Amino acid sequence: MTAVELGEWLETDLSHSVGWRGTDAMLHESIGHASGRWIVDILGKPESELNDDDYGHMRRVVGYIRRHLAQEPANVVTSRWRYSLMNWGHDPLKSIR
């Protein structure tokens, strides 16, 4: 997904409806949603401004997407699985088209 596509997706109710919020009941945002905001920030930076934390997050994102792509459900289009992946910056339907 592009930074614009991801940013627009993160504003939707569906985006907010999925994801793990961790063990802290005070977290109002899922971990994947927070990751998506960080991805938008990374995509908006010139490469020269990326830091070690940004590169570490990119590795984490790639690992998450790889693990979850292996768990594809029968109904991809309206699945929480797809919406969670989209929060992490990957729409599995885009690779199908």
Residues 10-62: pLDDT tens digits? 999 999 888 776 665 556 778 888 999 999 999 999 999 999 999 999 999 99
Q: Could you state, in order of their start, the residue ranges of all structural domains in the chain?
A: 3-87
Whole-angstrom distance, CA of residue 43 vs CA of residue 58: 10
Classify the phi-psi angles of 89: left when phi > 0, otherwise alpha if psi is within -120 to 50, otherwise beta: left
pTM recorded for the entire structure:
0.84
Whole-angstrom distance, CA of residue 82 vs CA of residue 1: 13
Residue 9 pLDDT greater than 70, yes or no: yes
Residue 28, Cα to own-chain centre: how many angstroms?
16
Nearest to 89 by CA among 13, 29, 21, 8: 8
